[in-house]
Amino acid sequence: MSTPRCEVPLILTPQEYHWGYPYVEVKLAHWHWEGDHPYRPETWADLWATPDALNVCLHTYEPQPVAFYSRRDTPVCEDSCLEFFIAPKEGDAHYINVEVNPKGAYLSAIGADREHRTFLKDLTKLAPTVSAGPVMIGETDEQWGWKAKIILPLPLLRALYGKDFTLYDGQKMRGNFYKCGDDTPRPHWGAWSPVTDNPPGFHNPACFGEIVLKLV
């Protein structure tokens, strides 16, 4: 069975905003595998890059998130979860997935597809910088959600993609942002760039959107 492909991959290019540096915010607007009572917590991702790191902050209005797991590389996608998948090196099919629950427990791995993945900790002592916590969303209402911040430092990227790997203006990458909760009371699966409803689900690099860097 051939890998499904998205008809219109999205392109994400940071723009200059009033705070003076290239920064982008995107909404996760595509939802998959929904039942009779779909749940779509409003979710968005912020992305910015420096010569030293890729930075992502994901926010979601999910007032009662579920967080069972507390250790690294456990199946946090079964909890309330925010995820960032990125293939940073053009011509290299290997992509990184970082998945985070509200406790800040995370899973990080690399591989070319869903079935052939290796935990980053098995390849290098370097690690992403990951944090998570509650956040109030909205200007007047007591609207609570949570957020996760993920930093992929350049030394880590070089350990995975070679010592000559760099981050530069105009660099093209492919990736996606996700929100899920596989085993929560209200299961949900949201994406920035839509995936097909068939396997392999989120692990579908053919449906990644294009990301063009503009460095801070």
Quote the CA–CA distance of 25 and 27 in Å, as a whole number: 7
The pLDDT value given to residue 192: 93
Instruction: Decide which of 3.30.565.10, 3.10.20.30, 2.60.40.1190, 3.40.50.1370 is the CATH code for 24-212.
Output: 2.60.40.1190
The pLDDT value given to residue 26: 86
The pLDDT value given to residue 215: 81
The pLDDT value given to residue 144: 84
CB 136, CB 114: distance < 8 Å: no
Quote the CA–CA distance of 84 and 150 in Å, as a whole number: 8
The pLDDT value given to residue 138: 65
Query: Could you give the dihedral angle defined by the CA atoms of residues 155, 120, 11 and 9, in that order, rounded to the nearest 10 degrees?
Result: 150
Give the type of residue at 14. P
The pLDDT value given to residue 163: 96
Handedness of CA 105, 99, 211, 96 (dihedral sign): positive
Name the phi and psi angles at 51, rounded to 5: -65, -15
Structural domain spans, the chain: 24-212
Quote the CA–CA distance of 37 and 186 in Å, as a whole number: 9
CA atoms within 13 A on the CB side of 187: 9
For the chain, residues with pLDDT lower than 50 are 1-9, 16-19
pTM confidence score: 0.90
Name the phi and psi angles at 207, rounded to 5: -105, 10
